Amino acid sequence: MSFAANAEIDLKALHSNFLRARQAAPHSNILAVVKANAYGHGTEAVARALTEADGFGVARLNEAIALRRAGIRHKVLLLEGPMHMDELADIVRLELDLVIHHTFQFDMLEGCAQFQRANLWLKFDSGMGRLGFDIRNGGEILARARRLQAVDQPLRLMTHLANADDRDDDHTARQIERFLEFTDGRDCEISIANSGGTLAWAQSHQDWVRPGIMLYGISPFAGRLGRDCDLAPVMRLRTRLIAKNRMRKGQSVGYSGLWRCPRDSWVGIAAIGYADGLPRHTPTGTPVLINGEKAPLIGRVSMDMVAVDLSDLPASAAGDEVVLWGGELPVEEIARAAGSIPYELVCRVAPRVPRLILD
C-alpha cells in the first residue's frame, strides 16, 4: 500500500487490449511483448493476465528468468538473443526461444550441443538498420541455422518495422514487401508486426505478431490516442497533494525560482518527482487531474515532489488524489508535453512506485 505515488494497473483493460490484437490479427499467433517490466506495468501481473498469449517476448535474460520464476510455462522469446556465452546455461535450462541476428551468436551456439533442439528465430534487416542479417546473405544464414538444429524443427524468420508509428509512411509497405519476397516459399514461420503492424498493416500479420505498446492501451501511432485505436489505458499514475499553500504575487516556487506567482495563488505540492518517473523536463502548464479537474504543473519537477497551481480549484485540499496520467488524462498527451514518447514514460516509472493491481 502506498499513500504517495503509485501506479494502478487495470488488468481488465490489459485483457481487452489483448483481445483487440486478436481481433486485428485473427489468424496469427500472438507473442505478447513484456520487456522492461512489461513496459513498466509489472511483468508478473501482466503475464499472468495474458495466459491466452501464444508466447512472451523479452529483451534481457533476467526478464525471461523473472517470467519462469513467476511460473510462466509459455514460449518465451529473447528478442535480442544471447549476448554472452555465460547466458547459455540459463537459456537451455529455462527452454527459451532465441533470436539470432548476428554471426557471433552462431559462433557461440555452434560450440554447444544442447542447441540442437533450440527454437531459433532468425532476424533479418529489411530496412530498420539496427539488428538483423542482410537479406542478401539469407540462403547462407538459413543453411547455417539448419546445420545447427540437427533436430527437424520449424525455423522462424523475423524482421522489425522502423516506421510503423506513421500510418502514411510507405517505408513500412516496402519493408514488408522486401521481407515477404525473401521468405516466400521457404517453409518457415514468419513474424513482422509490432503494435503498429498489428493494427494497421494486415500484410505484416503472418504467423506471429509481436504487439507491445498496444497491450498497455497506448497508441503506437504518433498523434493518436489509445482510444482512437479502441484501446483502454492500463496504467494510472497517481499520488496525493501533501500541501496546499497560499503564495503572494511575485513569490517563487521551487528550485531555481523558475516559477513566480503571477497573482496571489494557491500552490499545491504533489508527492511525485523524477525519482518516481515523472520526467524532469515536464514543463509548466502540463495538466494533472485533481478530483477529476485539470490543473497545471508549475516550476521545476524535483526528485520527490512537483508543484501544481490550484488557484482555479478552490475546493482542493491537502490529501487529495492527483493523477499524472491514465484514464481521462492520456499518457500520450503528457509524453508529448514532456518532449518524450509514452513508451519512455511508462517504462521509466520507478521501482519505488508500487503497482496496485486491479483485477
Ligand X SMILES: *Cc1c(COP(=O)(O)O)cnc(C)c1O
Q: Which residue number, 166 or 320, has a Cβ lying nearer to ligand X?
A: 166
Q: Smallest distance from the beta carbon of 216 to ligand X, in angstroms? A: 8
Q: Which residue number, 225 or 275, has a Cβ lying nearer to ligand X?
A: 225
Q: Which residue number, 160 or 355, has a Cβ lying nearer to ligand X?
A: 160
Say whether 35 is catalytic.
yes
Q: Smallest distance from the beta carbon of 315 to ligand X, in angstroms? A: 39
Say whether 255 is catalytic.
yes
Cell 505498446 belongs to which residue?
A: 213
Q: Smallest distance from the beta carbon of 149 to ligand X, in angstroms? A: 21
- Closest Cα to residue 165, out of 214, 227, 205, 202? 214
Cβ neighbours of residue 74 closer than 8 Å, sequence gap 6 or more = 47, 51, 53, 54, 55, 56, 67
282 and 337 in contact (C-beta within 8 Å)?
Answer: yes
Q: Smallest distance from the beta carbon of 342 to ligand X, in angstroms? A: 10
Q: What's the rounded Cα separation, in Å, for the pair 302 and 233?
A: 26
Q: Smallest distance from the beta carbon of 214 to ligand X, in angstroms? A: 6
Binding positions for ligand X, rule: CB under 6 A? 33, 35, 79, 160, 194-195, 210-213, 220
Q: Which residue number, 22 or 260, has a Cβ lying nearer to ligand X?
A: 22
Q: What are phi and psi of 308, to 5 degrees?
A: -130, 140
Q: What's the rounded Cα separation, in Å, for the pair 170 and 176?
A: 10
DSSP 203-246: GG-SSEE---GGGGT--SSTT--GGGGT----EEEEEEEEEEEE
Q: Which residue number, 79 or 331, has a Cβ lying nearer to ligand X?
A: 79
Q: Choosing from 35, 123, 216, 274, which is the catalytic residue? A: 35
C-alpha cell at 150: 540437427
Q: Choosing from 39, 255, 274, 343, which is the catalytic residue? A: 255
Cell 514532456 belongs to which residue?
A: 338
- CB-closest chain residue to ligand X: 212
**Residues assigned a catalytic role:** 35, 255
